[in-house]
Structure formats: C-alpha cells, structure tokens
C-alpha cells in the first residue's frame, strides 16, 4: 500500500496531504500546513525544508507529488514560489523518495473533472473523495488533491505497466 505525500508549495504557507492507496481505495492519513515565518526569504525557505523533512520522518511516505509553479502576473511572487517549491523538491530528494510533478490544471482535472475548477470545488471534492467530516483548509486540500492526482495517475500507469515520465517509478 503506497503512502503518498502531496505538497502544495507556497512562500508563506506550504500545504501537505498524506494518503494511503490500495487499489481503488484511498485513505486519508494526515494533512496540514507548514506556516512559514522568518525575517528573510532564506529563513522562510529553511522552515519549509525542515517542515517537509519532519513530515517525511513522521509519516514515512513512499512517494512524493508536488504541484508545479503556476506563473501569474507578478514575477517576484512567482520567483519566491519557485524557490519554495525547489526547497520542497530538495527535501524529497534528500529523503531518496520518488518525486512526481503535476500542473495545477492536471490536479484540478483529476479531482474535479475540470482543469479550471475553483479552489472551493477542489476542497469540496477532496472532502468527498476522502470521506472527511469537513473540508480541510485550502492549502491542505490543495496538497491532498495533488496526492489524489498522483494516486489516480499511478493506478493508470500500473495498469498500463508504464513508468512516470518525470522520474519515479509506477509500481514500487
């Protein structure tokens, strides 16, 4: 039963979500947010690295899925987000775990059936798909959606006997 850690990187809040996957059944394990505090960007990046490292050490995932950076109009924000994402990727690499990447549209499509779904729709579907009593906070829901996206993609690849194009293995 693979355990998947989904990460929704952010320079102020990084969401995480952990699910177990067995066939067509997914089970919620944990979710939350690494709230980033620090005076400098370097301090904040260190908090993200330590937070992801602690989550990996506590929950022992088999694979990590990370949302790719969405570039909007603000280049400075996109650069900070890219650095936050990079630190999360380094934490996964340091843990020697297979890493998979998905665009925001891929994640939304996998969870809601629409690649342009609103954040509230993602939260609602995460709650339904994981049979949660209430919707998780937005950043945690986004991270759980990343994990669910990987779970669905992984199941398809295992059935086809293929491997993921971005580095990891499908049938670990």
- Cα(137)–Cα(123) distance, rounded to whole angstroms? 8
Length of the chain: 172
22 is catalytic: no
Q: Is 8 a catalytic residue?
A: yes
- Strand positions, DSSP E, 115-165: none
Residue 17 and residue 147 in contact, taking contact as beta carbons nearer than 8 Å:
yes
Q: Is there a catalytic annotation at residue 120?
A: no
Q: Which of 8, 63, 101, 142 is catalytic?
A: 8
What gap in Å lies between CA 130 and CA 29, rounded to an integer? Answer: 10
Q: Name the catalytic one among 39, 50, 120, 139.
A: 139
Q: Give the C-alpha separation, 132 to 126, whole Å.
A: 8
Catalytic residue (choose from 63, 67, 101, 142): 67
Neighbouring residues of 84: CB distance < 8 A, sequence distance ≥ 6: 9, 10, 11, 14, 36, 44, 45, 48
First to last CA, the chain: 9
* Residues annotated catalytic, as ranges: 8, 67, 139
């Amino acid at each position: 039963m693979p355990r998947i850690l989904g990460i929704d990187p952010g320079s102020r809040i990084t969401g995480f979500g952990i699910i177990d996957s067995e066939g067509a059944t997914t089970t919620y394990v944990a979710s939350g947010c690494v709230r980033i505090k620090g005076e400098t960007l370097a301090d904040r990046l260190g908090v993200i690295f330590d937070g992801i490292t602690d989550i990996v050490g506590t929950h022992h995932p088999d694979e990590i899925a990370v949302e790719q950076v969405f570039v909007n109009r603000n280049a400075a924000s996109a650069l900070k987000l890219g650095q936050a994402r990079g630190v999360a990727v380094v934490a996964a690499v340091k843990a020697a775990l297979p890493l998979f990447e998905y665009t925001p549209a891929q994640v939304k499509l996998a969870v809601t059936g629409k690649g342009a779904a609103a954040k509230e729709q993602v939260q609602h579907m995460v709650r339904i798909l994981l049979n949660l009593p209430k919707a998780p906070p937005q950043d945690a829901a986004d991270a759980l959606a990343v994990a669910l996206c990987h779970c669905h993609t992984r199941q398809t690849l295992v059935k086809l006997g293929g491997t993921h194009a971005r580095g990891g293995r499908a049938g670990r």
